[in-house]
Amino acid sequence: MRAYAANVYTSVVEELTRGQQRRFIAVEQEFFRLWWDGVASDQQKHQVRQLLDEGRLEFVLGGQVMHDEAVTHIDDQILQLTEGHGFLYETFGVRPQFSWHVDPFGASATTPTLFALAGFNAHLTSRIDYDLKAAMQGAQGLQFVWRGSPSLSAQQEIFTHVMDQYSYCTPSHIPFSNRSGFYWNGVAVFPEPPPDGVYPNMSEPVTPANIDLYAEALVANVKQRAAWFRTAHVLWPWGCDKQFFNASVQFANMDPLLDRINRRAAELGVSVQYATLGDYFRALHALNVTWHTRDHRDFLPYSSEPFQAWTGFYTSRSALKGLARRASALLYAGESMFTRYTWPVPRGSLDPTWALWQLQQLRWAVSEVQHHDAITGTESPKVRDMYEEHLASGMLGVRKLMASIILDGRRPGPGAGARQTAPGTSSGYFASVYNPLAWTVTTIVTLTVGFPNVSVTDESGHPVPSQIQNSTQTPSAYELHILTTIPGLSYRHYSIKPTAGAAWEPAATMAARVLRFGRRPKTRTSHGGRRLMPVANDCYTVLLDEDTNLMHSVWERQGNRSVHVTQEFLEYHVNGDVKQGPVSDNYMFTPSAAAVPTWEAVGMEVVAGRLVTEIRQFFYRNMTAQDHAFAIYSRLAHVPQGHDGQLLCQRIEQEYRVGPLELNREAVLRTSTGLDSQQVIYSDNNGYQMQRRPHLAYANNSIARNYYPMVQSAFIEDGGSSLVLLSERAHGVSSQGNGQVEIMLHRRLWNNVDWDLGYNLTLNDTSVVHPVLWLLLGPRPVMAALRQRSGLALQHRPVVLFGELTRSALKPPGPRQPEAVTLPPNLHLQVLSIPGWNYSSSHTEHVQNLQKGQRGQAQADLRRVLLRLHHLYEVGEDPVLSQPVTVDLEVSLRGLGSVEAIEERSLTGTWDVSALQRWSWRTDAGYHRGDSPPPSRLPGGPTITIYPKEIRTFFIHFRQP
C-alpha cells in the first residue's frame, strides 16, 4: 500500500488531469478504498469524480479484489463483488460494466453467469492453457460469446475476450535495449522508494534518437497481434504488475511515442489512442460482427508450459482455505440472525451500528481472501498471517454479535461472546444452536465438555438424545454429540449438566463403548475377506477388514448394492532442485512419478454409540513409530425413530488428520472403488455447476494436468451407482485410475528457484490440517437429488454458541421465536442480510443526491433487506427438483414481518433489473443474445418463479410495526 498502490492512485489522478487524451482503468476496490478513505485529499477526491464523469478514469470489474476462479465458492465471489460494487455506487453512483480478470490461474464456467448477472456487457480474461490459446490464436477464436450454464437462457451469456500469448503485460522485450521494455517507471521498491528516485529496471527514456525505434517496435507487436483477431481494433495493454506508481514518468514517455506513431500512421499502417476497456468494447460492439459461441466448458486446469501445470494451488495452504470457508459460513449465519433480530422489530437493546460494524469487518475479511493470491495459497507466510488475522478478528466479532442476540432475549443488555470449549468445573453449560439454512435440518452437533457424565435437556426441560465419548483432540476432555432438529433460520437451546452417571437419570447421556484393534502391517494380506467386521446404520453397512484395518466395502440400502471401497494415504515425492528438472511450488504441481503409500501399518478403534458410531484409523509410517502420521475418523449416524434424518443417515462423515509432512511431499487420500467409472470424474465449478473431466493423455506432466479444482463436490459413477464426495474447503481432485478418486489434502515444499526464494513462496508448510469430507454412495438419481442439499448442509452446519450456565441463562427463553423461514427443497437462501447501504434505490435520486454533495441518509438503512435466492438444480438433473419453483415472498418471509415492497435487483444490488439493458452480441446461431429477459421476470407482485440454476436478487422492504 505504501510503496505501490497509494502512489498509483495519487500519481495517476494527477497525471490524468494534465492531459485530456489520457485514460486509466482501476480494478480492485480494496486498495482504492484504502487510498480514498485514508490518503486522498479533498482536491484529489474532486478530481476523481470529475475524471469518472468524463470517462477518462474507469472502474472495471469493481469487486473488492480480482478473485480466483478455481478454488473460490460462488457465494464468496458474489459477496466480494457486492462489497466493491456497493462502495462504488454509494460513493460515485457508477456501476462497472466490464470485467477485467487477467490474472486468475484458469477460468471457470461460473464466470460468464456471475458477470452477466452483475450487469457486465463484456468480459476479458487471459490465463488459459498454453496449447489451447495457441490453437485459438491461429483460428482467430480468442473472442466469442460464452454461455456459462447449460440451464440458463441467453441472458446469462457474455461476450468474452481472451488475451493473446503476451497476456496482460506490455511486451517486455525490445531489440535495442536490455531494459524491461515499455516500463519507464521501473519496478516498485518495498517498503519505501529509493532515496535517489531511480527505480530498478527503468526503461531507456524516449528521446529524439530512439523514438522511431520505440514506435516501430510497438507497431510491429500490434501487427503481430492483429493477425490473431478478427477486427481492425487491437487491444494493447500498457502496464503490468506494480506499474504506474510513478505515473508522471510513464505518461511523459508514452505521450510523445503515441503522437509519433499517429504522425506516421499512413506509413506505418497503424493509429493508436489511449483507451479504457469500455472504449475498446464499445468500438468492437459497434461493428456488429457475428461471433462464435462457446458452451458451458471451463478453462481448467491452466498450464503455462508443458511442465508448468498450475494445479498445486488447488490445495496450497489448506489451513487458510479451511479458515476462509468457515469464516464465510459464520458470516452467512450472522447476517440472517441479525436480520431476524431486527425484523419485525428489534427485541432488545443491541446497538445496530455496532452490529453492522461486526458484520462489515467479516465481509471485508472474507472478500479480500478471495483474491487470486490469497485463498489460492500463493502468498508469502507474512501475508498469509495477515489474512488469517483479519478472518479470525472478524469471526470473533460476529460470534460476539450472535451471542449477544441469543442472550438479549434471555437477559437485558448485549452479552459477551460465548466460549466454544469450557473447562468443565462449573455446574453446567448453556448451548444455543442456530440453523442458518432455510430448511428444517436434523443433524448431530458436537461439543467439547470437561466431564464424562452429563444430562442434556431442551428449552422445555425434556431429555434430548445424546452420546458422550473421549475426545480425539484433547485427551482430558470429552466429545458430546447431541441430536437436534431445527427449523429454518431458527434456534434450539440446550442445558448440559454434570451428573453422577446413573443410567436411570432421565436425561442421562449414554457413553459410547470402544473396540480396539491392534496395529496391522501393510504386508499382511486379507484371508479371502473372511474377517470382515460390519459397522452399520439404516442406510449403509461399512465392512472393515480386520486383517488390514482398512475399509473393504460399503453396502448401500437404497440400491441394494455392495461396492468395493478402500481408502489409503499416499504421497507424491517432488523435486526441489531446478538443476534436476521441473519443481513443484505454491502454484504448480510437478510430480516426477506416481504417488507411493505413506504408511507401513494401520491401527483402528471403533467407538460404538446409540447416536454415532465412529471408525478411527491411524496410519503409521512404520511398525515401530510412536505417533501416527495420518488418521481417518469416519462417522455413521443412527437416527432415532420419529426424526426425519434422510440427509443425516445417507452420508459417511470423515475427518482427516494430515501433517506435518516431510519436505517436498504432497499428500493425497485415494479412494478406490469397484465402480466402472472409465476414469471419468466430475468436479464442480465454484459449488455452482459440475464439469465432466475425462482422463486425458498428455506427453508431459500427465498426472498434474489431470488434476482439477474441487470446491464443494466431486463424484464418479457407473451405470448404476454414484460415489459423491463433498468438501468444506477446496482441494485438488483427480481420477488416476478406473474407479478411483484422489484428493490432495496437504503440501509441503521447498525449492531453489530464485523467484520463489525471493518472495518466500517455497511453501514450507509444517502445519497439521483437519479437512472434512462427506461420502455419499447410492443410485445415480438418488445421489443427484442429495448432492446439492448435502453440500450445503456441510458448508452451513448449525452454529453452536456454547458457554457456562448462569442464573440468567437458566431462565426460560425470552419472547417466542418468530415463525421459521422455509423454502422449497430446490431453493437455497443464498443471502438474507441488512447491507446497511445508504443510497436510494432510485438511480436518478441517488445521482442527484451525489451531485448535491449528499450521500443519502446519515444512518445506515436498516429497512432494506437484501435477499438472494438460488435454484440448486440443472435442467434434467432430477424429475421433480429440476422443475421451476414458484414462491410467494410475502408468505415465505412472514416470519420477519409484513412485506411492504419488493424490488428485483442485479446480482450485486446496484441495478434495478427493469433498467438493466445489457448489450446484444450477434452470434452464429443467427440472433442476438443478452437482450431478452427470461420468462421468469413476472411484473409486480410477491409471487415469483425461479428456473433451474437461476440466481435472483431482491431488496425487501418491510412495513414498520
Would you name the residues annotated as active-site residues? 103
Give residue 516's identity as a one-letter amino acid code: R
CA distance 85 to 118: 9
The alpha carbon of residue 236 and the mean position of all alpha carbons in its chain are separated, in whole angstroms, by: 31
346: Cβ contacts below 8 Å, ≥ 6 apart:
352
Alpha-carbon span 716 to 792, nearest angstrom: 20
Phi, psi torsion values for 293, nearest 5 degrees: -110, 155
Residues in Cβ contact with 22 at an 8 Å cutoff, skipping those fewer than 6 apart: 15, 16, 56, 251, 255, 274
Answer whether 67's CB lies under 8 Å from 104's CB. Answer: yes
Q: Distance between CA 857 and CA 869 in Å, rounded?
A: 28
- C-alpha closest to that of 63 among 376, 329, 363, 397: 363
Report how far residue 907's alpha carbon sits from residue 177's, in angstroms, rounded to the nearest whole number.
48
d(Cα 489, Cα 439) in Å, to the nearest integer?
8
Looking only at the bridges linking them, the beta strands covering 601-608 and 454-457 are: unpaired
Q: Copy the grid coordinates of residue 196.
A: 535517489
Beta pairing, strands 680-685 & 689-694:
antiparallel
Q: What sign for the dihedral angle of Cα 648, 651, 652, 657?
A: negative
Cis, peptide link before residue 301, omega less than 30° from 0:
yes
443 in Cβ contact with 648 (< 8 Å): yes
The secondary element (H helix, E strand) that includes residue 719 is none
C-alpha cell belonging to residue 165: 500469448
Where helices occur in 629-763 by DSSP H, the ranges are: 646-649, 702-705, 754-758
Rounded to a whole number, what is the largest CA-CA distance in the chain? Answer: 99
| Helix and strand counts by DSSP (H, E) for the chain | 20, 44
Integer Cα distance of 296 and 109 in angstroms: 6
- State the amino acid at position 205 in one-letter form: P
**60-70 burial, b if ≥16 CB within 10 A, otherwise e?**
bbbbbbbbbbb
- Of 784, 737, 762, 738, the closest CA to residue 880 belongs to 784
CA-wise closest residue to 154 among 944, 940, 922, 759: 922
- Cα angle value 947/950/955 (rounded, 5°): 110
Cα dihedral angle (780, 881, 79, 82), rounded to 10 degrees? Answer: 140
Cβ partners under 8 Å of residue 397, min gap 6: 357, 358, 361, 362
Distance CA 320, CA 336 (A): 25
CA of 509: how far to CAs of 361, 416, 503, 611, 615, in Å?
39, 29, 8, 10, 20
Q: Decide the pairing of beta strands 98-101 and 308-309.
A: unpaired
Set of cell numbers at residue 874: 440443472
Strands (E), 559-611: 561-573, 596-597, 601-608
On the question of a cis peptide bond just before residue 660, with omega within 30 degrees of 0, the verdict is yes
Helices marked H in 880-937:
889-892
